């Protein structure tokens, strides 16, 4: 239970939903969180951190029907690290959040 995260951000990309032959679904989308920090020269800088989110089953159906780009949401989920081979056969790493709860703000 140590790898759960909760954060607030904005839905930044329309969900892509895949439905499998057995009827199950997975939805994938992106959420951005702003980060503002001060540089050594005293100037403030803003940037966006991008988070990959995925959801299964009923949660995927909910995301498919209700997710809107720009909508502010609170996300709670489990951090998942993946290793995979890309199209060129090179090993890649990805960190995603398996959605457990989402609240529109």
Closest to 25 measured CA to CA, from 59, 51, 52: 59
Q: Answer yes or no: is pLDDT of 4 > 70.
A: yes
Question: How many domains in the chain?
Answer: 1
Residue 59 structural domain: 4-104
At 62, list the tokens: 């909910």
pLDDT, position 94: 93
What CATH number is attached to the domain comprising 26? 2.40.50.140
Residues in the chain: 105
**Beta-ladder partners of 97:** 53, 79
What are the percentages of helix, strand and coil residues in the chain, rounded to 5?
10, 70, 25
Closest to 48 measured CA to CA, from 89, 4, 10: 10
pLDDT, position 103: 95
Q: State the average pLDDT for the chain.
A: 95
Backbone angles phi, psi at 68, to 5 degrees: -125, 135
What pLDDT, in 10s, does the model give residues 31-42? 999 999 999 999
| pLDDT band with cut points at 50, 70 and 90 for residue 61 | very high
């Amino acid at each position: 239970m140590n790898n759960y995260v909760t954060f607030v951000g904005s839905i930044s990309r329309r969900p892509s939903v895949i439905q499998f032959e057995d009827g199950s679904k997975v939805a994938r989308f992106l959420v951005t969180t702003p980060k503002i920090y001060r540089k050594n020269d005293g100037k403030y800088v803003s940037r966006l951190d991008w988070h990959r989110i995925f959801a299964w089953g009923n949660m995927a159906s909910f995301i498919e029907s209700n997710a809107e780009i720009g909508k502010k949401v609170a996300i709670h989920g489990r951090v998942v690290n993946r290793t995979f081979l890309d199209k060129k056969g090179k090993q890649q790493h990805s960190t995603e959040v398996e959605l457990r709860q989402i609240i529109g703000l």
